[in-house]
Chains A and B, each alone.
Chain A
Amino acid sequence: MLNFMENIEKLPLGSWVSDFTDWISDSFAFLFDPIKNEFGDGLEDFADMLAAVPPVIVILIVAVLAFFLSGKRFGLAAFSIVGLLLVWNQGLWEELMLSFSLVLVASLLSVIIGVPIGILMSKSKTAESIITPVLDFMQTMPAFVYLIPAVAFFSIGMVPGIFASLIFATPPTVRFTNLGIRQVSEELVEAAEAFGSTGAQKLFKVELPMAKTTIMAGINQTVMLALSMVVIASMIGAPGLGREVLSALQRADVGTGFVAGLGIVILAIIIDRFTQSFSLKKGTNI
């Protein structure tokens, strides 16, 4: 009796998924190929362009932005200068720029996709009950797993890296957008309606401005997750600091690995403080 499982054959779940992925990969090749080529080329151009700007200028711009975004304080600006100079000094500038452009593009896409989905969730209970488990799935599935279909769809390079990081990093933006809109006090929503707002007016003039802080917190999370994906995506050939870490790992080279890792930390801190400074700006002085 206790061995009843022996009589049941193993479900071919794995091969189903493989077949399904193959099918998607074949059927949507007309969609994936141009994305891979055009978008991939665009990405590389963008990364090259960033890398072509003299580091001094980039560092100066970052420092000035940091100074104003942190409320005219020197802390973040000083950290940015020192940190970026260190990365430059270690000969990792180009990798830094590549990683940054990956994170930037992945985050932008995440926000562009995530915010509307979050709005949809906040407006419809049905949508919320369908999307929530999907988000849970996306976030708990080990991130490495996304690399496999990413390669199947987009081969290797930056594009599959961005694809994987989209799946991994979008959920916080969706969740926080939903949460932020649902948190808007009922009286404010009633006020908007009582004055005769249309649905769109209510959303853009009341709900989104009220939810802005929460949504920005979600975007901050998304950016951080996208950054963490940069390292993982190096396994499928995404260039940047992650690739340095990976190759150091393969050669058991602690020193190089640490330096590249430090570069990621510096990038993470700067990006985190930048996005936080947007979310911390309270509504009173927009």
Chain B
Amino acid sequence: MPVIKVEGLSKVFGKNTKQALKLLDAGKTKEEILKQTGSTVGVNRASFEVEAGEIFVIMGLSGSGKSTLVRLLNRLIDPTEGHVYIDNEDLAIMNKKDLLRVRRTKMSMVFQKFALFPFRSILENAEYGLEIQGIAKEERSKKARTSLEMVGLGNYIDQYPSQLSGGMQQRVGLARALANDPEVLLMDEAFSALDPLIRKEMQDELLDLQETMKKTIIFITHDLDEALRIGDKIALMKDGSIVQVGSPEEILMNPANDYVEKFVEDVDRSKVLTAYNIMKRPETVNIEKHGPRVALERMQKEGISSIYVTDSKRNLKGYVTADDASIALRSDVTSLLAIMKTDAPTVTKDTLMNAIFEISHNSPVPIPVVEDGKLLGIIVRGAVISALAGQGEVNLTHA
């Protein structure tokens, strides 16, 4: 069940919001509406769902409406139209008291420029969300400490924000957001103000944290690499509209339109595609039933020079080459065990393509993709190269 469900969410800045919405229905562009009504369309009928524990990235260039969209989600900006359901409560129409409750307990926000309170110590900053709920000093201090320790700032609690580096300040921002233990974390370009090395470090750390905390994260960014790196799902925005929602692979391999295609054409695919995306169904022989004859027949039929050996439960045992099989056949060896080789390097379905590329280079046989000892598929060298070139078939739905 989705934690957040957004339906037809729109924001028009200006006076003639009703008229602007009508013009939107009539298919007018943002510029035409600005000219006719003087109103600016911030977000145009956004609809999407975010599942629990998912990192949902909203991506777009500046002016695409992504920052407005995230502010509509916690109603820092009031929507002109549409609904935002969090746990089936409609945030867009709820009263002030309920809104405060949702903001205090269900969603926290991390800001691009950190937005730390300069006159409060690190601990007091992390305590802020708890303090305004009226939680007793001791308890909130304990929770804030725990969350500061989670982001690795346990030793800095008495410092002030100006004494910390940008990366550390954003850790405080993250700790402050986590101290409330919210279900949903809204991150508005949270790492964009950091330099590239620190940004990557923070992305890794967020992913590490996410392993254990399993929050629902809505992450705004203008950086496609960042989106592909951390997103479970990506929504691409342009001129206030969501152009495409999908997994990183879907966005990359099947861009919905020219805009998305242009966006993704410079992306280093090898850092995004995984073994799962390019593996093929393997030809196998069963070690419990088959001998060298069956193995050789299958290889000849499929026109391949080696075949993988599994047991009845599809556990990978090894592989047999055509040469070995024909020698075995001539010398009346009936068991595959005698000629089976086990030196093939294996990968998992999440191995990134740039790693596979190295392995496939040195492997005499297609690379087996293995999960819990079971053979899921194989990767032939040609598939790696064609996928890197942006061609060839790619599996998009995760098992």
Contacts and interface: CB of A to CB of B under 8 A. Distances in A.
Given A188-B115, A210-B118, 4 more contacts: A195-B108, A196-B129, A205-B128, A209-B119
A206 interface: yes
A210 B186 CA distance: 24
B111 A195 contact: no
Contacts of A212: 119
Interface in A232-286: 283-286
A211 to B, nearest CB: 11
Interface residues of B, number: 32
B103 A209 contact: no
B216 interface: no
Interface of B: 71, 74, 76, 99-105, 107-109, 111-113, 115-119, 128-129, 131-133, 160, 162-163, 176, 180, 186
A196 B307 CA distance: 62
B172 to A, nearest CB: 12
Nearest to A210: B119
A185 B132 CA distance: 20
B326 to A, nearest CB: 70
Interface in A102-124: none
A13 interface: no
A195 B119 contact: no
Interface of A: 185, 187-188, 190-198, 201, 205-206, 209-210, 212, 283-286
B118 A283 contact: yes
Does more than half of chain A's interface fall in helix, strand or loop, or is it mixed? helix
B161 to A, nearest CB: 9
A205 to B, nearest CB: 7
Contact of B103 (A193, A206, A210, A285): A193
Q: Which 3 A-B pairs have the closest CB atoms?
A: A196-B104, A283-B119, A196-B103
A171 B105 CA distance: 42
A96 B184 CA distance: 63
A190 B116 CA distance: 11
A40 to B, nearest CB: 40
Given A196-B132, A201-B132, A191 B115 contact: yes
B158 to A, nearest CB: 11
Contacts of B116: 191
Contact of B117 (A194, A201, A209): A209
Contact of B76 (A193, A198, A209, A284): A193
A191 B187 CA distance: 12
Contact of B128 (A185, A195, A284): A195
Contact of A284 (B99, B118, B133): B118
Contacts of A198: 100, 132
Nearest to B75: A193
Contacts of A190: 71, 76, 109, 111, 115
Contact of A195 (B160, B162, B163, B180): B180
A201 to B, nearest CB: 5
B111 A191 contact: yes
Given A187-B115, A210-B119, A194 B74 contact: yes
B111 A187 contact: yes
Contacts of B108: 194-195
